[in-house]
Amino acid sequence: MPFVALKLSEFTSTYHRSGAMPTVVLMDSSLSMTRPVSQEGSEEFQRKNLAVHGLTMLFEHMATNYKLEFTSLVAFSSLWELMVPFTRDYNTLQEALSNLEDYDKTCLESALHGVSNIVQQEWGSTCPCQVVLVTDGALGIGRGSLRHSLHTLKQRVEDKKFPLPFPFPAKMFIMCIANVEELQSTDAMDNLEQLIGLNGGEGQIFTMEGPLCLKSVQSMFGKLIDQAYTPFYAVLHCGNLASDVQVFPRPEPVLVDEEVDPIPKAVQTDLEIVGFIEIADISSPPVLSRHLVLPIAVNKEVDEVGAGTTEDAEEEPSANQMAGKSPNFCVLLHGSLKVEGMVALVQLGPEWYGMLYSQADSKKKSNLMMSLFEPGPEPLPWLGKISQLGPISDAAENPYGEDDSKSPFPLQPKNKRSYAQNVTVWIKANGLQTDVQKILRNARKLPEKTQTFYKELNRLRKAALAFGFWELLKGVAELLERECTLLPDSAHPDAAFQLSHAAQQLKLASTGDSQYSAFNHNITPLHTDFSGGGAGDRM
Amino acid sequence: MKVTSSRFSHKTAFVVDHCPYMAESSRQMVECDMLTKSRGQGVIPLAPVSKSLWTCAVECSMEYCRILYDVYPTRKLVRSYVHYIVSDSEFHSLNSWRQEDQSTQELMAALASVGPPNPREDPECCSVLHGLVAAVESLCAITQYQHEARRTLMDVADRVANRGRIICLTNAKSDTHVRMLEDCVSETIQEQNKLAAGSDRLMPIQRCELVLVHIYPQGDDTLVSDRSRKELSSVLSSEVHSVRAGRHLASKLNILVQQHFDLASTTITNIPMKEEQHANTSANYDVELLHHRDAHLEFIKSAQPCFLCTGDLHMAGSTSRDSGLKETVTLKWCTPRTNNVELHYCTGAYRISPVDVNSRPSSCLTNFLLNGRSVLLEQPRKSGSKVISHMLSSHGGEIFLHVLNSTRSTLEDPPSISEGCGGRVTDYRITDFGEFMRENRLTPFSEGVLDASGRTSSERAKAQLERHTRYWPMIISQTTIFNMQAVVPLANLIVKESLSEEDVLTCQKTVFNLVDMERKNDPLPISTVGSRGKGPKRDEQYRIMWNELETLVKAHVGSSERHQRVLECISACRSKPPEEEERKKRGRKREDKEDKAEKNGKDADEKAWPDSERLKGPQEREKEEQTESEMIKDSPDSPEPLNKKPRLMSEEIQPPQKSKGPVSLLTMWTNRITATSRKHEVFAGRLNSVNNKAELYQHLKEDNGMDLHENGKATR
């Protein structure tokens, strides 16, 4: 068994958000790492040397294929220390790696706390991270050992919780400078498996095959690279225009937890533009992750699966330089998206979409970016179903207008939300008081405010009927009758008529007589000779 | 926008007791005659009114539904259905699981038809039990969503879950009475599940959560004790809330809707608002909103004890004023400065519902947003650093709380696109592609619209992109026809899926027009740089143009017979000079050179042309020009260069409107460059290269000519 993979899918979160994935390398610097490796050759290696060799390989790979990834280095024994904060400078990492000193015993729990803090301080708690733990599998003894940590897992008080699962989405890769047999001879393997389990099953344990030597450590780290650090290449299509691209960071498969079956979805390697939409129309949509879309030189053979060894990768820059001078669709697309203030809707797979747009980092630097929407036929309610979006030339008339003054977006929902439809809520007394006052205010300005008066009156009537609040109808009727008696001599004669008419109608409604208490019935103004046919509401 | 984790939220059945005792007053008095205070004496104020238990129950349950429908409208991923049932001597179902019935207006109308309970009805015949039984039955009924899910998952139809919640608002007599209600629900579930097992139209209930809310008037002692959730059977759990009518009931249901639907509360603070009375003063208000709790993901996670920085984040107020026990997160309003449309990096968007929807601050805020403006929200932090973490924005009459990424970006400082592949090329057809994008904008079509070949709207959009890109040169120097205004009508039409007779006619006219241009020997926007306006000869230029036009039309010839006719028209009309083969050979050489030269010229258009290049330009051109003139001399059919020169000059001076294409500007620029280059010392040598004779006063002549250039073109 070369390595043990644990995948506990029931623990995975609703959406596995993928984004840029900073890496924390957590390097065991305990004394046990200095144990020599038995070898026939002249040179004697320590386990630490093998670890450093493996990490060097990882760093070299990232320096060429993952230039934009941030990596940090943490060394730990009973204490932990941040050797290199998150950086893209792999030389610094390499240097720190080669200057590592040896310390006392392994204490993983405090080191994992350290990782948790470092990541959150730098990236917050939504950014997914990868933790590469390099250890010999001697996980400490007594207090502070992993065994002890795991045994006491259930007896923790609130502020001394075990750091796993991390508050941010994390994948944990455990690189053991040991082989399976050795780890299984103690409970080390069990403990490490438990650790991955605590991380929600997100991660993997890698062990060395055969004798502990440079070759086997290389093959182990090669597997890690294949698993977690292969670049993602794709072809971006816009009809017949196309460009080979690297999508960075690589988009990770997304788990869609519908009510029925979680289906993992991966971004396909052909990214097809469906059409274009104005930035104002797409309107800052929520996205799962953002990626740079970097045009790449059309290589004779782009090895998508292989780890991409350093040799063939080295040729790329020069090829890229040459490619700088031949026209590339990405650059054209980027330029026009930027100038026009538009985004391109791109299909990532069946019922999965994203958008391409120009992202300016500063005034000078800008880039083609791709954001992934939530998988599904309708990722944004204000666009509707993507499959129903078609070319404007199919429409009877240009929905954007001849002068771009209109837009078919956003789509309106079938029902208005409560805040957009003047609902009546009387849970608080002042809600009710305001509504009654509105009626009284208008009552005093009759007949000028006849229309508003009846509008407010009918609103109150409807709500009172729905809430079975007949007492209120009677009360307001009385108020209106009183207003009628309080009318000044100068009042328009129509006012008195309307007030007593309204009061009478409310009273009838409060009897529950179906003739007068129908919900959809509206009290209409009384037709009087004074109103002259139109009680105009001069608002 | 996210799938809720509330497992019971798909189906909610409200059962509201409509028995005579619910007509009792809640004894919570509402003063509605507020204005009398300010009026003269002698006015007897109206006695305060009081709501009945029924009114309290109805308005609080409607508030529950209002929030629910605001945050989870039914057509979205999360489908939350409410079945509203009232119960007296029988049950009255006010709506159904159908989509159309899921709105507060529908429920209000139905409630009005039921009216308040009749206090004179015989209490012996009335019971909330009728409603509870009906609720269980309705939970077994299949909703539209469940029906669709079962249909799409034929083989695993049994995996479609059927869980639900019954919220019962009643006035119970005692704990024993409550137990009786629970037992009844439990038994009914058993019976119904048996029935459902043998039916296609019913689904057995897998889990049911019963929430009993006992409502009693203010001032009374409760006869029913609170009880937290208890499992009554493998299917049923039950909890009991004993609440006073009025305010307490409202806040209880507000808490329940938050718990049941994973909601959280955000209070927007510091909203500046004009005072109603004094329009020139403004005060700051707070508005509380409810939304899915994932909008607070960052806070929830970072509030974990292991995170050392928690202290920095100010989790405002342990208790929000309106929602009782629930916590609220305070975010500060940032007055929008511009109306610029920006694309924010947003990690989530969640519908909101204002807690106090009718209050003036709430409606001011929502109206502001509904009018299309967005507001950024800032986290109040003790340390004083400004962190914008959220944004409120409306889309089509719905307001969303957007979560913005406020942490360090892992994509910071990427290399610019100009440093990568194709980054050094400077004459991309940016404007043309912009136009292309506008033509390929999307618009929504109604559901299920398929074209003749069964393609959906988005497939048609892709098909259009395919047609429009069959021949689409990416850089200006790769094309002639797309730089010519005269070709536009044909180029726009030929990409269409089908052509009308009229379209064909237009295309033909375009071709005739080109023929006419050729006959008149009109200049083409083929680069003339480097050969001081000479470039390929005019007929050569037309040959290039015709070839390109043919390429474009050939790409579409398969579309229809009418497309074919356009091609035939071109083939028939285009000039076919003799010795074409020979010309081609030479032409190719020239084209190469001209491409290169034109690129230089274009570079000048773009600012990206480095200075060194600019200086080098004229000299290079000088060399090219030398070879060019040699070649022309060698060519048997080329006229004497000397003869041609004057004509060429006059052509250059011609006003640009004759060559309408965008290149006219380029030509002008080119001429300017050429003119400038004449100021150089190489000038004399160049003259020699044209003609070995040195004419007298030649300098004078040239200078005059140049002045004319400068004056004739008011480019600056």
Which residue in the block uniquely carries the two structure tokens 């930027």?
Answer: A338
Residue type, A278: E
**B265 confidence band (pLDDT: 50, 70, 90):** very high
Asked if residue B666 is part of any domain, the answer here is no
- The larger pLDDT score, comparing residue A283 to residue B301, is at A283
User: B230 near B238, Cβ under 8 Å?
Assistant: yes
Residues in CB range of B228: below 8 A, 6 or more apart: B239
User: B27 near B218, Cβ under 8 Å?
Assistant: yes
**B79 confidence band (pLDDT: 50, 70, 90):** low
Which of these ranges, A261-270, A306-315, B562-571, has the smallest mean pLDDT? A306-315
Q: Which of B30, B102, B461 sits opposite A429 (nearest CB)?
A: B30
**A488 confidence band (pLDDT: 50, 70, 90):** confident
The answer on pLDDT for B543 being more than 80 is: yes
B294-313 mean pLDDT = 54
Q: How far apart are CA A440 and CA A534, in angstroms?
A: 21
Q: How far apart are CA A274 and CA B440, in angstroms?
A: 9
* E strand intervals along B161-206: 163-170
Indicate yes or no: CB of A240 within 8 angstroms of CB of B466.
Answer: yes
Domain with residue B352: its CATH number is 2.40.290
Indicate yes or no: CB of A124 within 8 angstroms of CB of B298.
Answer: yes
Asked if residue B705 is part of any domain, the answer here is no
Q: How far is CA A161 from the centre of its chain?
A: 26
**B4 confidence band (pLDDT: 50, 70, 90):** very low
Angle at B14 between CA B165 and CA B127, to 5 degrees: 110
B602-626 mean pLDDT = 42
3-class DSSP assignment, residue B552 = helix
> Cα distance from A380 to chain B (closest Cα, Å)?
9
Q: Which of B55, B103, B153 sits opposite A469 (nearest CB)?
A: B55
pLDDT at B463: 94
Q: How far apart are CA B13 and CA B4, in angstroms?
A: 18
Angle (deg, nearest 10), helices A493-509 and A429-443: 140
A329-356 mean pLDDT = 95
B414-439 b/e (C-beta count within 10 Å ≥ 16 → b): beebbebbbbbbbbbbbebbbebbbb
Look over chain A and give the mean of its residue pLDDT values, rounded to a whole number.
83
Clarify whether residues B331 and B233 are in a common domain. no
Clarify whether residues B236 and B91 are in a common domain. yes
Domain with residue B215: its CATH number is 3.40.50.410
The answer on pLDDT for B407 being more than 50 is: yes
Asked if residue B704 is part of any domain, the answer here is no
User: A18 near A264, Cβ under 8 Å?
Assistant: no
Nearest CA-CA partner of A195 in A152, A256, A147: A147
Q: How far apart are CA B378 and CA B389, in angstroms?
A: 6
Cβ-based contacts of B46 with chain A (< 8 Å) = 475, 478-479, 482
DSSP state of B227: E
Report how far apart, in Å, the C-alpha atoms of A178 and of each of A51, A111, A149 are: 10, 20, 22
Q: Which of B354, B398, B441 sits opposite A381 (nearest CB)?
A: B398
Residue-wise pLDDT for B680-713, tens only, equals 554 454 545 445 555 555 555 444 544 444 443 4
A385-397 mean pLDDT = 91
Range of B572's domain? Answer: 429-436+454-644
B256-270 mean pLDDT = 92
Nearest CA-CA partner of A148 in A119, A108, A88, A90: A108
pLDDT at A45: 80
DSSP state of B422: T
Cβ-based contacts of A414 with chain B (< 8 Å) = 75
A10-23 mean pLDDT = 46
Asked if residue B325 is part of any domain, the answer here is yes
User: B481 near B513, Cβ under 8 Å?
Assistant: no
**B325 confidence band (pLDDT: 50, 70, 90):** very low
Look over chain B and give the mean of its residue pLDDT values, rounded to a whole number.
76
Asked if residue B35 is part of any domain, the answer here is no
Range 211-270 of A in CB contact (< 8 A) with B? 238-241, 243, 249, 257-261
Clarify whether residues B244 and B272 are in a common domain. no
Clarify whether residues B127 and B236 are in a common domain. yes
Residue-wise pLDDT for A149-195, tens only, equals 888 887 777 677 888 888 888 899 999 888 888 888 888 888 889 88
pLDDT at B324: 44
| Last residue in a domain, options B225, B245, B261 | B261
A198-218 mean pLDDT = 87
Asked if residue B509 is part of any domain, the answer here is yes
Cβ atoms within 10 Å, residue B388: 16
pLDDT at B331: 93
pLDDT at B38: 60
Indicate yes or no: CB of A388 within 8 angstroms of CB of B457.
Answer: yes
B120-131 mean pLDDT = 88
- The larger pLDDT score, comparing residue B656 to residue A75, is at A75
Q: Which of B421, B425, B468 sits opposite A297 (nearest CB)?
A: B421
What percent of chain A has a predicted confidence (pLDDT) above 90?
33
Asked if residue B679 is part of any domain, the answer here is no
Q: How far apart are CA B357 and CA B377, in angstroms?
A: 20
The answer on pLDDT for B632 being more than 70 is: no
Indicate yes or no: CB of A125 within 8 angstroms of CB of B104.
Answer: no
Which residue in the block uniquely carries the two structure tokens 């080390």?
Answer: A188
Interface check for A425 against chain B (CB to CB < 8 A): the answer is yes
Clarify whether residues B244 and B276 are in a common domain. no
Residues in CB range of A275: below 8 A, 6 or more apart: A344, A345, A389, A391, B440, B441, B442, B458, B461, B462, B464, B465
> Cα distance from B121 to chain A (closest Cα, Å)?
15
Clarify whether residues B459 and B347 are in a common domain. no
Nearest CA-CA partner of B330 in B346, B347, B318, B312: B318
Interface test with B, best of A86, A283, A517 (most B CBs within 10 A): A283
Clarify whether residues B245 and B284 are in a common domain. no
DSSP state of A379: S
The answer on pLDDT for B145 being more than 80 is: no
Which residue in the block uniquely carries the two structure tokens 């993901």?
Answer: B297
**A77 confidence band (pLDDT: 50, 70, 90):** confident
Q: What is the pairing mode between strands B91-93 and A262-265?
A: unpaired
- The larger pLDDT score, comparing residue A348 to residue B532, is at A348
Clarify whether residues B499 and B622 are in a common domain. yes
pLDDT at B424: 87
Q: How far apart are CA A241 and CA B468, in angstroms?
A: 10
Residues in CB range of B590: below 8 A, 6 or more apart: B535, B536, B540
Indicate yes or no: CB of B442 within 8 angstroms of CB of A364.
Answer: no
Range 442-461 of B in CB contact (< 8 A) with A? 442-447, 449, 456-461
Clarify whether residues B375 and B462 are in a common domain. no
Nearest residue in B to A242, CA atom: B469
Indicate yes or no: CB of B460 within 8 angstroms of CB of A124.
Answer: no
Residue-wise pLDDT for B634-687, tens only, equals 333 433 333 333 333 334 444 444 444 444 555 666 666 655 554 555 445 454
Range 151-210 of A in CB contact (< 8 A) with B? 158-159, 161, 163, 167-168
pLDDT at B460: 93
| Last residue in a domain, options B614, B644, B674 | B644
> Cα distance from B48 to chain A (closest Cα, Å)?
8
Angle at B398 between CA B395 and CA B401, to 5 degrees: 85
Helices (DSSP H) in B274-339: which residue ranges? 297-302
Clarify whether residues B115 and B252 are in a common domain. yes
Indicate yes or no: CB of A390 within 8 angstroms of CB of B35.
Answer: no
Q: What is the pairing mode between strands B263-274 and B328-334?
A: parallel
Q: Which of A273, A413, A437 sits opposite B396 (nearest CB)?
A: A413
Asked if residue B424 is part of any domain, the answer here is no
Which of these ranges, A201-210, A430-439, A466-475, B607-616, has the smallest mean pLDDT? B607-616
What percent of chain B has a predicted confidence (pLDDT) above 70?
68
Range 31-60 of B in CB contact (< 8 A) with A? 31-35, 39, 43-44, 46-47, 49-52, 54-55, 58-60
**B411 confidence band (pLDDT: 50, 70, 90):** confident
A302-323 mean pLDDT = 47
Report how far apart, in Å, the C-alpha atoms of B693 and of each of A495, B684, B687, B688, B696 are: 108, 12, 9, 7, 10
The answer on pLDDT for B474 being more than 60 is: yes
Nearest CA-CA partner of A145 in A106, A91, A179, A100: A106
Clarify whether residues B230 and B353 are in a common domain. no
| Last residue in a domain, options B622, B644, B666 | B644
Q: What is the pairing mode between strands A342-349 and A270-278?
A: antiparallel
Residues in CB range of A204: below 8 A, 6 or more apart: A3, A4, A5, A6, A171, A172, A173, A174, A196, A227
Indicate yes or no: CB of B393 within 8 angstroms of CB of A418.
Answer: no
Domain count along chain B = 3
Clarify whether residues B505 and B590 are in a common domain. yes
Q: Which of A122, A418, A482 sits opposite B357 (nearest CB)?
A: A418
pLDDT at B386: 80
In the Cβ-directed half-sphere of A394, how many Cα atoms lie within 13 Å? Answer: 25
Interface test with A, best of B5, B32, B144 (most A CBs within 10 A): B32
Range 635-694 of B in CB contact (< 8 A) with A? none
The answer on pLDDT for A339 being more than 60 is: yes
- Selection from A67-76, A230-239, B139-148 with the highest mean pLDDT: A230-239
pLDDT at B377: 94
Nearest residue in A to B419, CA atom: A324
